[in-house]
Amino acid sequence: MKTPLWINSVFLKVKSALSFPLTPEKYIQLFFLIFVSALALAAAILLFVDPYIYYHRSIGLRQVYTRSTAMIPGVLRHFEYDTVLFGSSMVQNFDISEMDKLLGTRSVKATTAGLTADTLSVYFDIAFASRGDNLKRCIAGVDYYAFDRNGKKLHAQYDYLYGNKLFTPQYLWSKDSFDAVSEALWNNISYPFDKVAQHEMDFNLMFSNKPGRHKYGRKYIERDIRNRTGQMIPLSSKVRDNFRNLLFKHVKNHPDTQFDIFLPPYSIYFWCVLDESGQLEDYLALRRFIVEEAALYKNARLHDFQTDLSIICDLDNYKDFSHYSPKINSSILKGISSNSHIVTPQTASRGENLIRQSISTFRPSYNALRRK
């Protein structure tokens, strides 16, 4: 079959255009002109959209709150707030509007899945450097795992966003930034008809999980327990130092800021897993340590939701052995607001006993799941 004449003609024209000769001098001039212009244009677009809030808050576009590890420094530097909520995936789903209403605060979130204590400490530094005395309150959900990962920075990939450099080529010209700009522009276009975009651009739900992403209920946590393999990794010898140097250091250094530290309500099966792997007493000892450390500071209150049996023993609250549903976030906020779950060295042992008793109660059902 012969190629149609018009295709031949177009092909020859394109070939002729591409083969058009240039003098070497012209080549060099055009190369630098096009190359520099393309980079400048790309940088200009990036600077305008600034998806990671590195230089400024959104101008003329709705802000997308998705890539938490990249965005948190920007949020802490460029937003107005007097309270920050810090934490890992255990704390992601808090609603800022609910928090502000209950606690009378003006807050932002610095929450990201897999948060390590090293990165948490950096977030504290950025927040205090940015707000100084205006940072009245820090609410931090303490995830044991975060403090057990020695020296690991969650934000290593985005290290360039955590400094103060004016010129950051890794941000101006990288595939990651390109994707973030594309996402921001697309979300702005699709906002009127895309519920996911609306969620991702909701300030009050910043960095929280997409609606419907996770399912909570007894059958999900039971499936998680049945499928668990391997042992829980023993706590490292440095975990107490990490608490002192990466959390309580900031409590000590900022006596005028109120620190509400809360122990998130892992499910009762979490404690059964620890019991099964012979580490229960280590974790309970760590709890006691945290309680005793918090008691040293007048500006620290420790809220213990780990021994709230109404939460931890209701398996329908969980999707796996540690992550609770968003409705529990509301309970936690109410508890912090009313100081109903404050724990002190004097009351700590009561909580431990509750955990031990609950383990005994749930051990048969836990063992039955493990046998399947």
Choose between 20 and 193: whose C-beta lies nearer to other proteins: 20
Dihedral sign for Cα atoms in the order 146, 180, 127, 168 = positive
Contact status, residue 66 vs residue 58, Cβ threshold 8 Å: no
Choose between 39 and 129: whose C-beta lies nearer to other proteins: 39
Tokens of residue 369, six digits? 């799941």
Choose between 24 and 212: whose C-beta lies nearer to other proteins: 24
Smallest distance, Å, CB 171 to other proteins?
A: 8
Nearest 5°: phi and psi at 14? -65, -45
Smallest distance, Å, CB 18 to other proteins?
A: 4
Smallest distance, Å, CB 32 to other proteins?
A: 8
Choose between 12 and 28: whose C-beta lies nearer to other proteins: 28
Q: Rounded CA gap, 121 and 110, in Å?
A: 11
Choose between 17 and 59: whose C-beta lies nearer to other proteins: 17
The amino acid present at 78, given as its one-letter code, is: H
CA distances from 335 to 8, 329, 353 (A): 75, 10, 21
Smallest distance, Å, CB 167 to other proteins?
A: 10
CA distances from 314 to 95, 218, 301, 319 (A): 22, 8, 26, 12
Nearest 5°: phi and psi at 84? -125, 135
Choose between 159 and 292: whose C-beta lies nearer to other proteins: 159
Q: Rounded CA gap, 257 and 271, in Å?
A: 33
Smallest distance, Å, CB 230 to other proteins?
A: 14
Contacts of 229 (CB under 8 A, 6+ apart): none
Contacts of 106 (CB under 8 A, 6+ apart): 80, 81, 82, 83, 100
Smallest distance, Å, CB 321 to other proteins?
A: 23
Instruction: Provide the terminal-to-terminal Cα distance of the chain, rounded to the nearest Å.
Output: 65
Tell me which residue has tokens 């938490």: 68
What DSSP letter does each residue of 285-319 carry, written as one string?
HHHHHHHHHHHT-TTEEEEE-TT-HHHHT-GGGBS
Choose between 5 and 18: whose C-beta lies nearer to other proteins: 18
Choose between 15 and 101: whose C-beta lies nearer to other proteins: 15
The vertex-42 CA angle with 110 and 36, nearest 5°, equals 135
Q: Which residues bind other proteins (CB under 8 A)?
A: 17-28, 30-31, 34-35, 38-39, 42, 160, 169-170, 173-176, 178
Choose between 38 and 368: whose C-beta lies nearer to other proteins: 38
Smallest distance, Å, CB 42 to other proteins?
A: 8
Smallest distance, Å, CB 231 to other proteins?
A: 18
Choose between 37 and 361: whose C-beta lies nearer to other proteins: 37
Smallest distance, Å, CB 181 to other proteins?
A: 12
- Neighbour-count burial of 136, counting CB atoms closer than 10 A to its CB (0-12 exposed, 13-18 middle, 19+ buried): middle
Smallest distance, Å, CB 15 to other proteins?
A: 9
Contact status, residue 236 vs residue 282, Cβ threshold 8 Å: no
